[in-house]
Amino acid sequence: MEIATKYDPSSVEDKWYRFWMENGFFRSVPDEREPYCIVIPPPNVTGVLHMGHMLNNTIQDILVRRARMLGKNACWVPGTDHASIATEAKVVAKLREQGIDKSSLSREEFLAHAWEWKEKHGGIILEQLKKLGASCDWDRTCFTMDEARFETVIDVFIDLYNKGLIYRGARMINWDPKALTAVSDEEVIYKEVKSKLYYVRYRIEGSSDEWITIATTRPETILGDTAICVHPDDERYANLKGRKIHVPLINRAVPVIFDEYVDKEFGTGALKVTPAHDINDYNLGLKYNLEVVDTFNPDGTLSEAAQLYIGENRFKVRTKIVRDLDTAGHIVKIEDYTNKVGYSERTDEIIEPRISVQWFMKMKELAKPALEVVENETVRFHPAKYKNMYRHWMGNVNDWCISRQLLWGHRIPAWHLPDGSFVVAKTRHEAFELAKSRIPDPGSRITIDDLKQDEDVLDTWFSSWLWPISVFDGIRHPDNADINYYYPTVDLVTAPEIIFFWVARMIMAGLLFRNEVPFRNVYFTGIVRDKQGRKMSKSLGNSPEPIELIGKYGADAVRMGMLLCSPAGNDLLYDDSLVEQGRNFCNKVWNAMRLVKGWETDPGLEQPKSNQVSVEWFDSVLNTALIDINEQFTRYRLSEALKDVYKLVWDDFCSWYLEMIKPAFQMPVDSKTYDATLVFFEKLIRLMHPFMPFLTEEIFHVLHNSGEASIMQTRLPLSGVIDNGLISEFDFIRQLVMSVRAVRSEKNIPQKEQIPVFIRSENNKGKTGHFHDVVIKLCNLSELQYSPDQPESSVSFIVGTTECFIPLLQNINPEEEIKKLEEEIQYQQGFLNTVMKKLDNESFVNNAPARVVDAEKKKKADAESRIAVLKDQVNTLRN
RNA sequence: GGGAGCAUAGCUCAGCCGGUUCAGAGCAUCUGCCUUACAAGCAGAGGGUCACAGGUUCGAAUCCUGUUGCUCCCA
């Protein structure tokens, strides 16, 4: 059979993915095995796969496939998130393209469009994950707004409301004037912007020319001022007690209040107070019972209450009011100023603090136990440094604003009554019954049609936080077989930026509803950046298209590339060269298979000693590596694990082992060695399978025509006996071989040309042992002999403390050799000096552990003997 | 303003509790090879005052303090 010299992923990947799906290898149902479960961080239905998903899902797939091959019942639950703001924005944009205005549609009509959009685009990202090789149990695919999840969310809302954890109230919230909705604190991104600090003077009541100057970055909110605040200890303003101040342009008289909140050093030390438009001012307003004048409309234009500039955009008004203030003689000066301004994560609009009636969830009580389980490592973070961040946040949580003024989402199950009160219930009917029961006078005339359901929907994270429970329907059916078996899940793989949005809240939900954490480990991936360290973004155009990348290099190569350079929690600077490295590795493995597959065996051939020892050696190397790699996994150092695999396969297996046992051209190999090699190869591809599922499945089948079996069904190789003596014996051989090669390279001796090597030995006893023939083969030697003397006209080198020679007829320049030797002597002498310095130091000898002192003594002896040998060489050359 | 983390080769990083010929790996670079598995390859080579300054110690990349620079989170 002809096998191509290059591995072609495109010809095998779809084939094997179909094979896995058709055989249901990803399917998991509860049984007697130990469960291993991961729930996917559900990507947005609006999303298409980006590099962050690639990294994240590669890691999950590696963990799941590994668990499966450890004999666990592995279950990876996929799904998508309805992403209310993002999806609604997309649907609105699409409708606009069709000339349809959102406001012209009823709620039901809009939702019909949204669902249509979801059905059409919602599955794309999951199909893309399949290209990556994701081994999700697709039969379990969930959507945060499918029937079970929807009902779950509503049930939870009602439950928490009844428990008093959810309340409705007027609070200052972050308002997105573009999306026309409240957003949570976590959805506000603070950016540093260059702006101006305006010094504006306000006239003091009862005088014609007494003024107080305040500094503000937001002059357009002046119309909403209801107080001036100064520090109680500020002598400059002590005379203002009991006086009133006139707000410019509208001449509203407002009080002066004295509060330590004011920073005397900032600006003029006097602060204008606008309770409707600043969170700190709002708090001052509460404290001093100030009037609240809301001068903005929801869309960020000025309202009637502003009296001036009504209907105009807030930033246009800023320019205008500054001009008008100046004209009226109120502007004292304007300074450049840099401050931080909050932007909406979704729309990039500047957030407007706004007082509005919203739904909130109390967080303090929930935060405490959720912090506790991370502190005591019931939930472990990888890397652990995120514990600090988590602790800090959990100690300072505010109540969670869970209502959004959107249509796409879980509509809040609250029903408003004509008298302004409301009831919370699942259906209109239940709400009606509840409302009736609450009204003391049964004769009061409300009808079921008087109930009006709350217009708001819930924050998207209000469904996500239930995800590890809701995917198993554990809220509606708390005792079902799935939830009992799979919950708590084992690992969660996610980005550190959603540690509070999502991770913390899932932990709270888990403890609240199941009295058990949702997962044992959280693996935080880094952010995928470009080579210059910039975030990947559409606007920069610096993100490769993942599907194209897979098409070009193969899924296995991309997976490897993603992982190779991304230790947990570190950002990954993406570069195509990483994926190329992955592809090259695939090809290397492919060609190793071609080599082994091409060998003929001869049953009559006895196994040479050198092959036997090579097999024993690699067996020990492999067993050592298996332990190391397993250790890397238990520490969640996946990137390191992959590097170890890479070295084991490329260096130890291909570069050394295969070269050691490789038969001469068109010669057969003995069957013992051949069989051992096949066993090694199979162990290696099993070990590699979680990282590179497609290539390993292909090789698995090429190696033994496996038919309907899959490598997925096999177990990871287990470590066996390790002969450390043999390993260190080979370390000497490796150095010897490398030294001979170095001489060849230096002296321009072609690899084809056979050369002799002599090893100095007084008693003709060899140091190469069973590897004798291996050395001859790897170095292409005509002979390898032991001799007490140095042959005529030869170059020498030292391996450890052993002197070796290669006789050369030409190419020897004594001067050059002497120079090199003397450089080496100098280096060794320097080394010896540092060792001597330690050994001459009495406190070192007395205080250091014996083992360390002995090591130094050995260093000394070795260095001395090497120097002696080198000096000897120089003398020989001189004569 | 509050908190956290990082600084080691051109790049990305490893180096856990101080001691292995400790200054490492991969990539990149340079040199020589199309050697019958693989040029997506093979062999070899060069490259770092471990940010800076102190301290602890027989001994510091590793522990402590300070300085500088960068990054992230929170307000």
Domain ranges of chain A: 35-165+367-396+464-525, 190-344, 586-718, 726-878
Of A425-429, A635-639, A865-869, minimum mean pLDDT range: A865-869
Residue A441: predicted pLDDT: 63
pLDDT tens profile A693-725: 999 999 999 988 767 899 999 999 999 999 988
The domain A586-718 is classified under which CATH number: 1.20.1250.20, 1.10.730.10, 1.25.40.10, 3.40.50.12780? 1.10.730.10
- From residues 279-338 of A, list those within 7 angstroms of strand B by Cβ: 279
- Between CA A734 and C1' B8 the distance (Å) reads 28
Q: Which nucleotides in chain B have some atom under 7 angstroms from a protein Cβ? A: 2-5, 11-14, 19-21, 25-28, 31-33, 35-45, 57-59, 72-75
Could you say which architecture CATH assigns to the domain A35-165+367-396+464-525?
3-Layer(aba) Sandwich (3.40)
Split at pLDDT 50, 70, 90, the class of A568 is: low
Residue A700: predicted pLDDT: 95
pLDDT tens profile A488-546: 999 999 988 888 889 999 999 999 999 999 999 999 888 787 777 777 766 667 778 88
Residue A712: predicted pLDDT: 95
pLDDT tens profile A343-372: 887 788 888 888 888 899 999 889 999 999
- Nucleic strand B near CB of residue A4 (< 7 Å): no
Residue A539: predicted pLDDT: 63
Residue A765: predicted pLDDT: 63
In chain A, the percentage of residues whose pLDDT exceeds 90 is: 50
- Nucleic strand B near CB of residue A583 (< 7 Å): yes
- Nucleic strand B near CB of residue A787 (< 7 Å): no
Residue A24: predicted pLDDT: 96
In chain A, the percentage of residues whose pLDDT exceeds 70 is: 97
Over residues A652-679, the mean pLDDT reads: 94
Lookup result for tokens 């083969």: A777
Above 60 in pLDDT, residue A1?
no
Residue A375: predicted pLDDT: 87
CATH no. of A190-344: 3.90.740.10
pLDDT tens profile A790-816: 887 788 888 878 888 888 766 577 777
- Between CA A751 and C1' B33 the distance (Å) reads 9
Answer for the pair A588, A716: CB distance below 8 angstroms, yes or no. no
- Between CA A523 and C1' B42 the distance (Å) reads 39
pLDDT tens profile A607-620: 999 999 999 999 99
Residue A763: predicted pLDDT: 65
Of A54-58, A181-185, A796-800, minimum mean pLDDT range: A181-185
In this structure, how many other beta carbons lie within 10 angstroms of the beta carbon of residue A536?
17
Residue A877: predicted pLDDT: 79
- Nucleic strand B near CB of residue A568 (< 7 Å): no
Quick one: which of A289, A227, A297 has its CA closest to A262?
A: A227
Residue A285: predicted pLDDT: 85
Over residues A549-561, the mean pLDDT reads: 94
- Between CA A417 and C1' B75 the distance (Å) reads 39
Q: Return the HEC string of A725-763.
A: HHHHHHHHHHHHHHHHHHHHHHHCCCCCCCEEEEEECCC
Q: Return the HEC string of A161-172.
A: HHCCCEEEEEEE
Q: Return the HEC string of A446-492.
A: CCHHHCEECCCEECCHHHHCCHHHHCCCCCCCCCCHHHHHHCCCCEE
Split at pLDDT 50, 70, 90, the class of A143 is: very high
- Nucleic strand B near CB of residue A395 (< 7 Å): no
Beta strands in A481-576 (DSSP E): 491-494, 521-524, 528-529, 572-573
Quick one: which of A523, A568, A520 has its CA closest to A377?
A: A520
Above 70 in pLDDT, residue A242?
yes
